[in-house]
Structure 1
């Protein structure tokens, strides 16, 4: 990293950044060009590993790239704040971000799916009491990404 003072280290710090994001950008290998997929997500820190969960419809073109053991890259950025110094004609952006690599797995077990969807919902419905309807499980595919490597950066 060019500016070492901006480097974020440690799984807890990566997790805290992930908790503040809204969208995870996934990149799959597609031969000549990567296949980019922005999705909302939920995350959890389990056994000192960071896991991300996302869901989708039962079918779609993305499933050409989404399959068990697919390797992917991901990115989350959050806490954006434009910093402007009008007198100097200078502006920059404060942010936190993580970039990493992971392996994907489709969840098939009802309890795993329910838990993943509950984590996802809680990520986006912080303390508002929203509960998803379990009837949606039969028409939803749910995936887990286990992060294998992560780097982080923060500019305040």
Structure 2
């Protein structure tokens, strides 16, 4: 990170930020192109290691890239506020962001899918304990990113 003075290393502050946001952007490498897709997410922290979860269709570019190229980048940003000034170059912004890399995989086991979707529901809807139809689960792709690197910064 170029601006070490903006780096956040306090895990509780990082957790507070991640838990308050709703959109994770996942970046895939696709034959010379970067493909970025925004997704609703949930997450878990186990022994200081983050795992992000999201879902989608069992077809399409995201699904195919998840199987072909499991190393991904990700980003979450928020708390954005413009700081006005009298000159164009004087304007600035406040923000916070998390960026990182990880290994993406598909969750196949029905019970593990339900557990992952509980994290997503908690994050996006503030609810847990809902029922998941086996028929719907069978046609839903549930992904997990096991985080390898993660950094957080704020201004």
Tell me the distance in 2 between the aligned counterparts of 1:69 and 1:109.
Answer: 21
Matches for 1:39-118 after TM superposition, within 5 Å = 39-67=39-67, 70-85=70-85, 90-118=90-118
| Partner Cα separation in structure 2 for residue 85 and residue 107 of structure 1 | 49
Q: When the two structures are superposed, what TM-score results if normalisation uses the length of structure 1?
A: 0.85
Cα distance in 2 for partners of 1:68, 1:106 equals 11
Task: Using the TM superposition, give the Cα deviation of residue 62 of structure 1 relative to its aligned residue in structure 2, in angstroms.
Answer: 2.0
TM-score between both structures, scaled by the size of structure 2: 0.86
Residue 19 of structure 1 aligns to a residue whose secondary structure is helix
Shift in alpha-carbon separation, 1:20–1:71, aligned structure 2, 3 A: same
Native 8 Å contact 1:70 1:105 kept in 2: yes
Distance 1:42 1:48, change over 3 A: same
Partner of 1:124: 124
Q: How many residues align?
A: 152
The unaligned stretches of length 5 or more in structure 1 are none
Provide the secondary structure at the position in 2 that maps to 1:59.
Answer: coil
CA RMSD between the two structures = 2.1
Residue in structure 1 matched with residue 14 of structure 2 by the alignment: 14
Please identify, of 93-102 and 69-78, the stretch whose mean Cα deviation from structure 2 is larger. 69-78
Which one is further off, 54-63 or 67-76?
67-76
Structure 2 stretches lacking a partner, 5+ long: none
CA separation in 2, counterparts of 1:139 and 1:45? 27
Give the structure 1 partner of residue 36 of structure 2. Answer: 36
Which stretch shows the higher mean deviation, 97-106 or 4-13? 4-13
Q: CA deviation at 1:133?
A: 4.4
